[in-house]
Structure 1
Amino acid sequence: MSENSRPKGAPRFPEGPAPDPSGGRFERRIRSFTPRRSRVTTAQGDALRRLWPKWGFDIDGQRVLDLAELFGTEAPVVLEIGFGMGEATAQMAAADPGTCILAVDVHTPGQGNLLNLADRAGLTNVRVANGDAVILLREMLAPQSLDGARVYFPDPWPKARHHKRRLIQPDFLTLLAPRLKPGAVLHCATDWEPYAEHMLEVLTAHPDFENTQEDGGYAPRPDFRPLTRFEGQGLRKGHVVHDLLFRRTATPSGVQDTAPTQA
């Protein structure tokens, strides 16, 4: 359907990402993200129309995912929360085709761009999830179903009154940990110094994670994390990028991994 023939008020992508995938079925809470509205290019729109039914899904909280069925393979799965325009995600997927990437974001142009990049590169190990990563983790992922997690350059929410919106908090780590297999690595990166310090403090204090660095500090940038355009801009401005790699420990004594609840 062309833009000119689409009825007024009709969704642009009727089989694509929904504006509110969970439909308000879950409790109101402070979120770490704000949906951004920007123009969807012709290529991104075409990718959404063609590929969303095949490689995308809404985080509706209504089912527990079978990741082997979702990807069509028993290969390890890494969760990536917040992929921007998807360039780094596509590069990592191409460099490691034996690892599947479950990429979560709420930015429609970025979703279309990642689908387009994956299609052009012939990648089959990327799936795109639309919605709230917290609902995905809590309602739709089984215990120990993930082989890793990545949170690259999340919104730092720099104003003090907004710090409560930051994603990397004790409650989030407690939610994430049971979905990770023991030994799986959570990899965070930020170019905002105060947020890096906050991440290091929160992760170090959490009983379900241990620092992979013997000195207890930041990690060198791993070769598998591409240098993104956003990161390059920050480096040119004099920003210092910090990587944090923390390993999921064995389940602490007295704590049980529980299955997701169904709404």
Structure 2
Amino acid sequence: MTDPQHQDEGSSASKTTGPESPDAPLHRRGIKSYVIRAGRMTEAQTRGLEEVWPRLGLTIADGPQNLDTLFGRVAPRVAEVGFGMGKSLIEQAERHPEVDFIGIEVHAPGVGKLLDEADKRGLTNIRVYREDALAVLEQCLPADSLTTFQLFFPDPWPKKKHHKRRIVQPAFVELIRTRLKAGGTLHMATDWEAYAEWMVEVMDAAPGYTNTAEPETSPYVPRPDFRPLTKFEARGERLGHGVWDLIYRRD
């Protein structure tokens, strides 16, 4: 999860008015879907990275995963990209011990915080990557292995010249589709209406997905009870800001 008010001043000045073609490369030199932001580490965050990481942390170097072996059981599997400080993901893992969760986040304070909380709460159904999500999806998570893929409040990159940096692109959602089981869902949420419209445009053109919303009323679904309300989102609601949830099912 990233703060949409911060932009990468050194990004490309190329312009685009819509999503890229499905065959556009997922990796481009100098182009990423996130920006590393400096942050001070608390004692708890440092403890998470130093003491809990060896047990719950994963890297690209660990290679392709057999998720049944990784978690020691057969269970529904949820992956979330950009979990920020991890509050929502921790809440979900604690509420649903019967489900396994894989979090992917590049920011050290958030990863440290989530690991510290997971350990304090005795959670065994969560694993964490501090890696580029594209690399994890391509190299580590097997095909047809996920029940749900979550992308909550990704950086909207609102300036047109930055739209290529948006993580929601045809090639990205196709990669997710291959990692979802048949009937699995891609759940996205954003508080930027223009990005919500972009997501709908990408997803409606993507093969192998069906929107679970009522199409005659809206492409969006009401916020599901199973998606925890974040502090950021609650503040936005008090200020009258909108939030748009989209849930698409893999055919």
Q: Is the 8 A contact 2:60 2:139 kept in 1?
A: no
- Range 186-195 or range 115-124, more displaced: 115-124
- 2:229, 2:174 → 1: CA distance? 29
Q: Is the 8 A contact 1:59 1:130 kept in 2?
A: no
Residue 223 of structure 1 is matched in structure 2 by: 225
Cα offset for 1:120? Answer: 1.7
Q: CA RMSD in A?
A: 1.4
Percent of pairs with identical residues: 48
SS at match of 2:139: helix
- 2:172, 2:73 → 1: CA distance? 28
- 1:178, 1:47 → 2: CA distance? 32
Task: Spell out the pairing of 1:1-263 with structure 2 (5 A cutoff).
Answer: 28=29, 30-60=31-61, 63-215=63-215, 217-249=219-251
Cα offset for 1:29? Answer: 5.5
Cα offset for 1:234? Answer: 2.0
SS at match of 1:230: helix
The gaps in structure 2 that reach 5 residues or longer are 1-26
SS at match of 1:149: strand
> Which is bigger in relative contact order (C-alpha 8 A, separation at least 6)?
2
SS at match of 1:219: coil
Residue 9 of structure 2 is matched in structure 1 by: none
- 1:29, 1:174 → 2: CA distance? 22
Q: Is the 8 A contact 1:59 1:132 kept in 2?
A: no
The gaps in structure 1 that reach 5 residues or longer are 1-25, 250-263
Residue 261 of structure 1 is matched in structure 2 by: none
Cα offset for 1:139? Answer: 1.4
SS at match of 1:148: strand
- Range 210-219 or range 123-132, more displaced: 210-219
Compared CA separation, residues 28 and 188, structure 1 to 2 (3 A): same
SS at match of 2:163: helix
Amino acid at match of 2:200: L
Residue 18 of structure 2 is matched in structure 1 by: none
* TM-score where L is the length of structure 1: 0.81
SS at match of 2:84: coil
- 1:231, 1:100 → 2: CA distance? 25
Q: Is the 8 A contact 1:64 1:141 kept in 2?
A: yes
- 2:93, 2:229 → 1: CA distance? 14
The one-character-per-residue Cα deviations of 1:161-213 (angstroms, maximum 9, x if unpaired) are 10111111101011111111010010000000100010011111111211011
Cα offset for 1:121? Answer: 1.6
Q: Is the 8 A contact 1:189 1:244 kept in 2?
A: yes
The one-character-per-residue Cα deviations of 1:77-122 (angstroms, maximum 9, x if unpaired) are 1110000000000001111111111000001010011111111222
Compared CA separation, residues 46 and 134, structure 1 to 2 (3 A): same
Give the structure with higher Rg (CA).
1
Cα offset for 1:238? Answer: 2.3
